[in-house]
Structure formats: structure tokens, C-alpha cells
Structure 1
Amino acid sequence: MSSDPWGRVDETGTVYVRTADGEQVVGSWQAGSPEEALAYFERKYEGLVVEIGLLEKRVKTTDLSAKDAQVAIDHIREQVDAHHAVGDLDALRTRLDQLVETVDKRREERKQQRAKQSDEARHAKEALVVEAEELAQSDQWRAAGERLRALVDTWKGLPRLDRKSDDELWHRFSHARSAFSKRRKAHFASLDAQREEARKTKERLVSEAEALSNSTDWGPTAARYRELMAEWKAAGRAQREHEDDLWNRFRGAQDVFFAARSSVFAERDAEQSENLKLKEELAEEAEKILPVTDLKAARAAFRQINERWEAIGHVPRDARPKVEGRMHAVERAIQEAEETEWRRTNPEARARAEGLTGQLQAAVDKLRGQIEQARAQGNNARADKLERELEGRQALLDQALKGLQEFGG
């Protein structure tokens, strides 16, 4: 019989292994000596030790799944429990139990990690959904559209949740994108319609502008061009491929008209400047008539100057008041001389003036007599009152006498 600390071979060739539960039969050996039998089964034990060691290393250092690790553990445990090796099988069982604990711990850690990742993914996807729903109401079509596309890429990079939760969130996310696309499509369809309407309006404006470009009715046409420009601005923009061409035609028609008007106005301004010089010379000539000493000669001279004045055309508007004012001043002076002469030579007016003067003189003389009488009687109050009345009548008398002098009286 042969033995070692963990097993023995009896005289029949049966091999035993010692365990905490007592000896267990390993197998029967008939091929050689008992020592060779123990050595064989000890090597089997060493193989199990190596296998367990490799599994421990894989569990600790690789991403071996808990399921695959448990299958490997169960496979080794079957060999250990089969007692087909000689060695400290209880120690192997202890190592396998510890390995199970390690795998369970790793499983729980990974479960928690997956739960955490799932929770983070849920929060991330919920945030994407909320942002997408906000963007669905935006009118910043380009920026919002680009942001929604970026959100889709972000969504694709996140882990999937449970099917129900993932489907619900994706439905909201997809609905928000669809709502935005629908609003954007409606907006640009409306914009296209507006631009088409603007194109029709601007083509009408261009046609009228081109029809007016050769007009010589300067004032009304210029005013109409201003109205057309206001209508152009109010019409909005046409499609890009039409806008520039329409504007060039519209502006070109205006340029033709205003260039022609500017040319005509330049000629007119030159002519009016020359007219101004001529009228200034006539005004200076008219001013030499003053002061009026010979009314008849003055009238004749002014009439002759005025006829030449009327034969001259327009002068610049800003210079007109001054030069015309000089002629009007001469004309007023002649008219005043005529009025003075008329009053001096008008018998009826002279008679009226003399009659009025006589009446006022009589009234003044009468008041003076009444004042003297009142003073003599000691009635000073009446005298003072009559003197105030005398002052008024005397003033009228003085004015009448001055008027009478104009008649040479």
C-alpha cells in the first residue's frame, strides 16, 4: 500500500483521497505501481489547480461575463466533486466558492453600472426630447434644423433603454422633429407664395417704370417714380433668381428719366442764371428813377423798364423774392407819389379837408371860451374836464391842418 497526505492506494489498487467528509474513492489503478497511481492523480489535481488559477485571473483581469464565468466554475466544480484527483480538494472548493463570490460581486457591480448607465441614458434622452420639443416651436429654421440633426446623432450614440421606455421617448422625439419639419415646410411654402406675388407686383412696377422713362412731364413723373419706389419696398422680396434682374430693370428705367431731367434742368438753371443777371440790371436801372421828381416821366420810364422785365424768362426760385422785391419797391414809391398828387389836386378832397378843419377850429375856439367862463365862475372841475376835451379836439385839428397842407393850403 502506498499513501501521501491527501490520498492512498490500497492493496487492491483502489485509490482514495482524503476530504473533510472522509475518504472518497478516486478510482482503480492496475497499470503500474501504487506510487505511479498517486502520481497520476496528483497530476490531475495540479491540472485542476492550474485551471482554477487561470479562471481566477480571467475573472479579475478580463471582461469575462458572469454567465460564462459561472459555466466555467460549474465545470471545474463537477471535476472536483467527482473526486478524480488526489490533493486538497476542499481547498479547491473553497477557492471555487470565493470565485463564485467574486463573480457575484462583479455581476452586482455590473448590474449597478448598467442601471446607472441606463439611468444616465434615460435622463440624456429625456433631455434630448425636451430640447427637441422646444425646437419644434422655433422659427429659427436653419439653426433649429441643424440642432435637431445634431440631436439625432447624439441619440444614436446613447445606449438603448428597455423597449417600452425607449419607444415612448423616441416617439416624442420623432414627433417633435416631424412637427418642426411640417412647420418649416408650411413656412417656406408661404414664403414661396409671397415671393411669387412680390415677383408679379414688381414686374408690374417695372413695366410702368419703363413706360415712364421717356416722359418729359418732369414733376408728376418724378412724383410717380417716388410712389413706385414706395410700392417696390412694400412688395417684399421676389425669388432670388428674379430679384436682381427686376431691380436692375426698375432702377435702369428711373436712371434714364432722371438723367434726362437733370440735363434739362441744368440747361434751365443756366438760362435762369442769365435771366437773373438781366433782371438785376433792370432793377438797378429802375432804382435810379427814385426819388420821384417828375411823376409822368417816372411812370413812363418804369413802364418801359417793366416791359423789358416781362420779356425776360424765369429766374432761380431762391433768388426771385429779392430781385422782384427791388422792382416792387420802385413801383410802390411811384404809386405813393401818384396818390399824393391825386390828393393835392382833388377839389372834392380839398373841400372836405377844409370843411373838417373849419369845424374843428370852431369847436376848439368854443371850448376855449367855455373854459375861460368856467374859470371866471370858479368852477375848476368843469374847466378841467373841458380842457381834457380840448386836448382831444386840438389833436384832431392839428392832424387836419397837416392834411390840408398836402393840398398846398
Structure 2
Amino acid sequence: MSSDPWGRVDETGTVYVRTADGEQVVGSWQAGSPEEALAYFERKYEGLVVEIGLLEKRVKTTDLSSKDAMAAVGHLREQVDAHHAVGDLAALRVRLDKLVELVDARREERRAQRAKQSDEARHAKEALVAEAEELAGSDQWRAAGERLRALVDTWKGLPRLDRKSDDELWHRFSHARSAFSKRRKQHFAHLDAQREEARKTKERLVAEAEGLSKSTDWGATAARYRDLMSEWKAAGRAQREHEEDLWNRFRGAQDVFFAARGSVFAERDAEQTENLKLKEELAGEAEKLLPITDLKAARAAFRALNERWEAIGHVPRDARPKVEGRMHTVERAMQEAEEAEWRRTNPEARARAEGLTGQLQAAADKLKGQIEQARAQGNDARAQKLERELEGRQALLDQALKGLQEFGG
């Protein structure tokens, strides 16, 4: 018979293991010595120790599921409880019990972690839904569309919630995206309709512009082109594939007209510049008539100059006031000389002037007598009043005398 602290082999070859509940039969050994029998079953015990150690390591360091861990513990426990090994089986049961506690603790940790992750995912998805619903009313079509696509990618990266919660949030999220897409589609459909209307309007404007390109009614046509440009701007933009071509045709038609007008105006400007030179020479000749000493000769000379002036034609608009002003100055001097001559040779006007002067002189003399009389009587107030009246009459008299002098009298 052979034995060690945890087991023995009796004379019949039966192997026993010692436990707290007494000896338990491990098995029967007939193939060799009792020592070999104990060594064999001790190796089986060491195998269990190794397996339990590996399982402990897996539970602590890997993401082994609780279900698989508990199945492995159960399998090892069956082997320990079967007493097919020689060693401290009670110590193995203690380790297995602690493993169960560890698996339970890891299960709770994972449950708490999943709950936390689920809560975080819920908050994250609710935030995505809130942002999507806000974006649903945006008119920033490109930016909002890109942001919504990014939100979808973010959503896909988040853990799923319970079916009911996840479905409800996804429904709101999807509805917000659909609402935005619907509004964007309506917007661009309306925009397409506007651009189509703009295209039709601009084609009409182009047709009119091309029809006017050969017009020689410079003023009216230029004004119409300005109106057409205003209508073009008010029409809005056509589709991109039409806008540039329509604009090139519209501008091309105007360029043809304005190039032709520019050529004509250049010729006209050259002619008007020459006209200005001629009129400046005539104005200089007219100015030599001043001052007028011989009215008859000056009148004849000015008439001849004016006939030549009228025959010359237009001058540049910005130079017209100055050169015409020089002729008008001579013409006004001529008119003033004629008026002065008429006054000198008009007997009725002279008689009226003399009569008025006599009346004013008589009134002034009468006032002077009244002033002297008032002062003699000591009535200074009346004298002062009469003096003010005399000042007014004297001013009229001076004016009448000046007019009378113009008649040479």
C-alpha cells in the first residue's frame, strides 16, 4: 500500500483521495506500482489546477462572456466533484466559487457599462434628432444637407437602444430628413420654374436687342437698350447652361449698335470741333464791334456775322454755352444801343419824362415850403415827417432826372 497527504492506494489497487467528508474512491489501478497510480492521479489534479488558472486569467483579462465562463466553471466543477484526481479538491472548489463571484461581478459591471452606454447612446441619438429637426426648417440647402448626411453617419456608429426607443427616435430622425428633402425639392423646383421663366424673358429681350442692333435712331435706341438692361437684371438668372449664351448674344447685339454709334459720333465730334473753331473766330469778330459807336454799321456787320454763324452748324455740347454767350453779349449790347437810340428819338417818351420830372420837382418844392413853415411855427414833429416824405420824393426825382438825361436833355 502507498499513500501521500491527499490520497492512498490500498492492496487491491484502489486509489482514494482524502476530503473533508472522508476518503473518496478515485479509481482502480492495476497496471503498475501504487506510486505510479498516485502519480497519475496527482497529474490529473495538476491538470485541473492549470485549467482553473487559465480560466481565472481569461475571466480577468478577456471579454469572455458570462455564459461561457459559467459553462467552463460548471465543467471544471463536475470534474472536481467526480473525485478523479488526488490533491486538495476543496481548494479547487474554493477557487471555483471565487470564479463564480468574479464572473457575477463582471456580469454586473458589464450590465452597468451597457446601461451607461445605452444611456449615452440615447442622449446622443436624442441630440441628433433635435439637431435634425432644427435643420429640417433651414434654407441653407447645401450646408444643412451635408450636415444631415453627417448626422446619419454618426447615428450608424452609435449602439442600438431597445427596439421601441430606437424605432421612435429613428422615426423622428427620418421624418426630419424627409421634411428637409421635401422642402429642398420644392425650393429647387420653384427655382427651376423661375429660371425657365427668366430664360423665356431673356430670349425675348435678346431677340429685341438683336433687332435693334442696326438701328440709326441713336438716342431712342440707346434709351431702349438701357430699358432692356433694366428688364434683364429684373428677370433673374436663367439655367446655367443658357445664361452665358443668352448674355453673350444680348451684349453682342448692344456692342454692334454702340460701335456703329461711336463711329458716327466720332465723325460728328470731329466736325463739331471744327465748327467750334469757326464760331470762336466769328465771336472774336463780333466782339471787335464793341463798344458800339456807329449803330447802323454795327447792326449791319453783326447781321452778316450772325448769318455766317447760323450756317456753320452744331458745336460740342460742353463748349456751346461759352461760345454762344460771347455772341449773346454782343447782341445784348446791340439791343441796349438800339433802345437808347429809340429813347433819344422818341418825342412822346421825352415829353412824358419831362412832365413827370416837372411834377416831381413841383412836389418837392412844395414840401420844402411846408417844412420851412412848420419849423417857423415850432412844429418839429411835422417838420420831421415832411422831411421823410421829401426824401422819398427826391429819390423819385433823381431817378426821373437820370431818365431825362438819356434823351439828351
Q: TM-score, normalised by structure 1?
A: 0.91
Distance apart, 1:12 and its partner CA: 4.9
**For 1:371 and 1:113, how far apart are their aligned partners in 2?**
127
SS of structure 2 residue aligned to 1:289: coil
Structure 1 pair 93–358 and aligned structure 2 pair: CA distance change class (3 A): closer
- In structure 2, distance between residues paired with 1:166 and 1:321: 87
Cα deviation, 1:252-276, whole Å, max 9, x if unaligned, reads 0111111111111111111111111
Change over 3 Å in CA distance of 1:72–1:407 after alignment to 2: closer
Q: 1:30 to 1:220 in 2, by over 3 A?
A: same
Distance 1:72 1:41 in 2: 21
The 2-side partners of 1:12 and 1:63 are apart by 48
**Match in the other structure for 2:284:** 284
More divergent stretch after superposition (346-355 vs 387-396): 387-396
Report the Cα distance in structure 1 between the residues aligned to 2:73 and 2:271, rounded to whole angstroms: 118
* Distance (whole Å) between structure 2 residues aligned to residue 85 and residue 380 of structure 1: 162
User: Kindly tell me: are residues 78 and 369 of structure 1, through their superposed partners in 2, closer, same or farther at Cα, counting changes over 3 Å?
Assistant: closer
Q: Is the partner of 1:173 in helix, strand or coil?
A: helix
Report the Cα offset of residue 85 of structure 1: 2.3
Q: Structure 1 regions of 5+ residues with no counterpart?
A: none
Question: Judging changes above 3 Å, is the alpha-carbon distance between structure 1 residues 366 and 237 closer, same or farther for their aligned structure 2 residues?
Answer: closer
C-alpha change, 1:324 and 1:37, in structure 2 (3 Å) is closer
Distance 1:99 1:394 in 2: 140
Q: Secondary structure at the match of 1:32?
A: coil
Secondary structure at the aligned position of 1:314 is classed as coil
Instruction: Work out the CA distance in 2 between the residues paired with 1:39 and 1:380.
Output: 167
Which runs of no fewer than 5 residues in structure 2 stay unpaired?
none
Partners in 2 of 1:10 and 1:205 — Cα distance? 121
- Greater shift in the superposed pair: 107-116 or 233-242: 107-116
Deviation at 1:28, TM superposition (A): 4.2
Tell me how far 1:305 sits from its aligned partner: 1.1
Q: What SS does the corresponding residue of 1:405 show, helix, strand or coil?
A: helix
Following TM superposition, by how much is the alpha carbon of 1:126 offset from its aligned partner in structure 2, in angstroms?
A: 2.1
Q: Give the share of equivalent positions with the same residue, in percent.
A: 91
For residue 26 of structure 1, report the CA deviation from its aligned partner: 2.8
Mapped to 2, the partners of 1:55 and 1:389 lie a distance apart of 139
Question: Which region of structure 1 is more displaced relative to structure 2, 110-119 or 332-341?
Answer: 110-119
CA RMSD in angstroms comes to: 2.5
Moved more, 329-338 or 42-51: 42-51
Deviation at 1:247, TM superposition (A): 0.2
Question: Aligned residues, how many?
Answer: 409
Does residue 43 of structure 2 align to residue 56 of structure 1? no
Higher mean alpha-carbon deviation, 84-93 vs 208-217, is at 84-93
C-alpha spacing 1:398/1:55, structure 2 compared with 1 (3 Å): closer
Deviates more, 1:241-250 or 1:16-25: 16-25
Q: Greater shift after overlay, 337-346 or 186-195?
A: 337-346
Which range is displaced more, 120-129 or 364-373?
364-373
Measure, in 2, the Cα distance between the counterparts of 1:138 and 1:43. Answer: 75
* Structure 1 residue 375, shift from structure 2 partner: 6.3
SS, match of residue 139 in structure 1: coil
Shift of 1:194: 0.8
| DSSP 3-state at the match of 2:30 | coil
Matched residues in 2 for 1:318 and 1:81: separation? 124
State the Cα distance separating 1:391 from its structure 2 match.
4.9
**Would the alpha carbon gap of residues 191 and 367 (structure 1) be closer, same or farther in structure 2, given more than 3 Å must change?**
closer
Tell me the alpha carbon deviations over residues 188-210 of structure 1, each in whole angstroms, 9 at most, x when there is no partner. Answer: 11111111011001001101111
TM-score w.r.t. structure 2 length?
A: 0.91
Distance in 2 between residues matched to 1:382 and 1:170, nearest whole Å? 111
**SS, match of residue 24 in structure 1:** strand
- Report the CA distance shift for 1:31/1:302 in structure 2 as closer, same or farther (over 3 A): closer
SS of the equivalent of 1:25 reads strand
Rate the CA distance shift 1:185–1:388 in 2: closer, same or farther, 3 A.
closer
2:298 equivalent in structure 1: 298
Partner SS state of residue 334, structure 2: helix
Q: Secondary structure at the match of 1:91?
A: helix
